[in-house]
Amino acid sequence: MKQELFEQNNRGPWQQFESKLDSLESRKRSGKAPQVSGFAEQYRQVCHHLALAQERQYSPHLIDRLNQLALRGHQQLYKSHTNILYNMVYFILVGFPAAVRREIAFVGIASTLFFGSLLLTAVLTYYNPSLVYSIYPEESVMDFTEMYNPASKARMEETRTAADDFTMFGFYIKNNIGIGFQTFASGFLLGAGAIFNLLFNGIAIGAVTGYLTELGYTETFFSFVVGHGAFELTGIAIAGAAGLKLGYGLLCPGRLSRKQSLIRSAREAMPLVYGVFFMLLIAAFVEAFWSSSSYLSITAKYTAGASFWLLVLSYFALGARRGSE
Amino acid sequence: MLDTYRKLETPENIDLDIHIAGPLVRILAFTIDSLIRMGVQIGLLIALAFLGKVGMALWLILTFVLEWFYPVLFEVLNQGQTPGKKAMDIAVVNDDSTPIGWSASIVRNFLRIVDFLPMGYVTGLVSMILNKDFKRVGDLAAGTVVIYREKSKAAPKWPASTSSPPPIALNLKQQRAMLSFVERQNSLTKERQQELANHLQPVFQQQNQEAVNHIVRVATWLRGGQ
């Protein structure tokens, strides 16, 4: 068949298919669902025409046009359709705790590195307070000593307003969640970036803890950190686990090709990253509006803090058990 | 071979042509995106400065979103195109050319901090140059690729001409070369057209403008015109 006849016979269907693609691709769908009946059939026909046109060596313009139609059709047909709200609820109830348990080896290593370095530094600083100066510059030490000094804390809390709480909320989101994401992504460097971030944060937090405990500021310090710590510290450990997973995929591909292994471990680490975002968001909220509150009694903060820890741990240990069976 | 076209076999058993985007066009797209992002950040800073501490909080949250999710949101919600990519007519898709999803987009964009190392996206550039699909580290981990999304071109005007059969039997490749010559005709100067047509002098026994006209006639015949 000559090209002109071929074009004449099929111009109509191609135009129909093209306008269908246009309506599927346009973002302002304004509520009404695009007309899709017959899409798959038309797509197969265009594929067929493309194969014919290639085989018969029709002119390049025609082949390009059909190729483009087929490519656009391919993208629309094989697009994954997801319900984002359902996915989010399902993820929080089932996906996240299941993912943490599936990756328990990485979570275990990351937690050991993070909490281990934290505790070790805390103990060392407690018995040798001058150690804090090899970790923090002098001004920072003075800053946080002042901040948790029971005498000055009362004065600072009086001047703190609701707007300040809100500013701190923004700061915690930008800073803490950013650190979480960085810990994951830098794990690509064969895990080194994740390990560095875990140890760095563990040592930094541990030094403050040991130093302030030794000074006897335990009440102001622990009542502040216990609440959001449940979400924040576990969040950082899980971010580290996600980073380690990524690096391990690149380092030890097993029977897959290295590239395939990397793609796979990145995909499997993603639930952990979503979870880190979720945990650190809660942590930022608690830290800004609950931990800093001066109206709550110390007992209330300790009780709430203990129940947050219990909640988080049992969420990971028991969440979605029935669903996974 | 140095070629940026890839064949993608679909489940329908056809080969689609994919045109991979190279480093230069991607750097341009990235520059546009960076400028937009910077402009929005400065604009927000000025606008939110009037809201005091609450404005500061909003600015921190919004810059966090811009910093980490600007490309992700555009890529997932806008057919794989950030504004910069759209301006350069490129788009990011999965390796099998299907539209990119949340996880893949987050992986490829979060790993920008690895691509950035040690400074100025050096790692990303080196990775792109070493990889035949111009993938930076983020693309490797996410299984994504940046391709050209060509706009549909207007059909070339076929010149009105009588037709005449070719003097010898042409094989498919040669036929296609004839058709392609006529479709490209308008983008070539007269002199260049004649120069190309003169190569066929041994076959058609014509020269210069006559040779061009003769090719048009043969191509019209091949295409099916009377």
Q: What is the structure's pLDDT at A289?
A: 86
Query: Is residue B2 very low, low, confident or very high in pLDDT (cuts 50, 70, 90)?
Result: low
Residue-wise pLDDT tens digits, A197-247? 999 999 999 999 999 999 888 888 888 888 889 999 999 999 999 999 999
- pLDDT score at A298: 84
What is the token pair recorded at A83? 């319900």
Whole-number percent of chain B with pLDDT over 70: 97
A172-191 residues touching B, CB cutoff 8 A: 173-174, 177-178, 181-182, 184-186, 188-189
Q: Distance between CA B224 and CA B226 in Å, rounded? A: 7
Neighbours of B82 (CB within 10 A): 25
Choose among A54, A174, A270: nearest Cβ to B106: A270
d(CA A63, CA A7): 11
pLDDT for B225 equals: 63
Nearest by CB to residue B183, choosing from A59, A82, A164, is: A59
Higher-pLDDT residue of B135, A28: B135
**A110 has a pLDDT exceeding 50:** yes
Q: Give the confidence band of A157 by pLDDT, cuts at 50, 70, 90.
A: low
Higher pLDDT, B173 or A154: B173
A167 in reach of chain B (CB within 8 A): yes
> According to the model, what pLDDT value does residue B106 have?
93
Question: A66 CB near a chain B CB, below 8 Å?
Answer: no
- Cα B97 from chain centre: 13
User: In the prediction, which pLDDT does A325 show?
Assistant: 44
Which one is predicted more confidently, B149 or B65? B65
Q: How confident is residue A166, by pLDDT bands cut at 50, 70 and 90?
A: confident
Residue B226 in contact with partner chain A when CB distance is under 8 A: no
pLDDT mean over A181-191: 91
- To test the contact with chain B by mutation, choose from A25, A74, A169, A250 the residue with the greatest count of B C-beta atoms within 10 A, namely A74
**B110 with A184: Cβ contact below 8 A:** yes
Helix (H, G, I), strand (E, B) or coil at A248: helix
Q: How many angstroms separate the Cα of B159 from the Cα of each of A290, B178, B215? A: 77, 13, 11
Name the minimum distance, in Å, from the CA of B58 to any CA of chain A.
Answer: 7
Q: What residues 43-82 of chain B have any CB closer than 8 A to a CB of chain A?
A: 52-54, 56-61, 63-64, 67-68, 77-79
Q: By the CB < 8 Å criterion, does B187 face chain A? A: no
Q: At B144, is the pLDDT very low, low, confident or very high (cuts 50, 70, 90)?
A: very high
Per-residue model confidence (pLDDT) at position B152: 67
What is the model's pLDDT at position A28?
Answer: 53
Give the pLDDT mean for A84-110.
91
pLDDT for the residue A31: 55
Tell me the pLDDT band of A114, cut-offs 50, 70 and 90: very high
The mean per-residue pLDDT over the stretch A180-190 comes to: 92
Highest-scoring range by mean pLDDT, A80-89, A110-119, B158-167: A110-119
Confidence of residue A282 (pLDDT cuts 50, 70, 90): very high
- Which residue of A43, A47, A79 is in closest CB contact with B99? A79
Between residues 258 and 277 of chain A, which touch chain B (CB distance below 8 Å)? 259, 262-263, 266-267, 270, 273
Give residue B207's pLDDT. Answer: 78
Q: Are A289 and A282 in contact (CB under 8 A)?
A: no
The reply to whether residue B141 touches residue A263, judged by beta carbons under 8 angstroms, is: yes
Q: Quick check: A256 contacting B, CB < 8 Å?
A: no
* pLDDT value, residue B12: 77
Q: Which whole number is the average pLDDT over A289-306? A: 85
Is there a contact between B141 and A188 if contact means CB atoms under 8 Å apart?
yes
Assess B106–A contact: CB distance below 8 Å, yes or no.
Answer: yes
Instruction: Return mean pLDDT, chain A.
Output: 87
What is the arithmetic mean of pLDDT over B204-218? 82
pLDDT tens string B20-36: 998 999 999 999 999 99
Distance from the A305 Cα atom to the nearest Cα atom in chain B, whole angstroms: 25
Instruction: List CB contacts (< 8 A) between B144 and chain A.
Output: none
Buried b (16+ CB within 10 A) or exposed e, B195-223: ebbeebeeebebeeeebbebbbbbbbbbb
Among candidates A57, A177, A178 on the partner chain, residue whose Cβ is nearest the Cβ of B172: A57
What pLDDT is recorded for position A81? Answer: 73
Q: Which comes out higher in pLDDT, residue A287 or B160?
A: A287
Mean pLDDT for A15-24 is 85
Nearest residue on chain A to B74, judged by CA atoms? A27
Nearest residue of chain B to residue A48 (CA atoms): B14
A274-296 mean pLDDT: 88
DSSP conformation letters of A108-152 = HHHHHHHHHHHHHHHHHHHH-GGGGGGTS-HHHHHHHHHHH-HHH
Are A270 and B77 a contacting pair at CB < 8 A?
no
Identity of the residue in B12, B53, B153 whose CB atom sits nearest the CB atom of A47: B12
Which of B53, B136, B220 is the best residue to mutate to test the A interface, defined by the most A CB atoms within 10 Å of its own CB?
A: B53
- How much is the pLDDT for A244? 95
Is the pLDDT assigned to residue A125 strictly greater than 90? yes
- Enter the tokens of residue A79: 């697009």
Q: What is the ipTM of this complex?
A: 0.83
Average pLDDT (A125-145) is 89
Q: What is the pTM of this model?
A: 0.82
Q: Give, in order, the Cα–Cα distances in Å from A165 to each of A169, A286, B54, B174.
A: 6, 10, 9, 75
Instruction: Read off the pLDDT of each residue in A65-77 and give the average, rounded to a whole number.
Output: 86
Judged by CB atoms closer than 8 Å, whether chains meet at A186 and B106 is answered as no
> Span A270-286, mean pLDDT?
93
Please give the distance of CA B53 from its chain centroid, rounded to a whole number.
45
pLDDT at position A199 is 95
Angle A152-A309-A240 from CA coordinates, rounded to 5°: 95
Angle of helix A162-172 versus helix B52-77 axis, rounded to 10: 30
Distance of alpha carbon A286 from alpha carbon A169, whole angstroms: 9
Name the more confident of B84 and A54: B84
Q: Is residue A143 over pLDDT 50?
A: yes
Q: Is pLDDT at B16 greater than 90 in this prediction?
A: no
Condensed to tens digits (0 to 9), the pLDDT of residues B94-134 reads 988 888 888 899 999 999 999 988 888 899 999 999 988 89
Which pLDDT value is given to residue A80?
Answer: 74
Picking from B61, B67, B182 by the largest number of A CB atoms within 10 A of its own CB, the best residue to mutate is B61
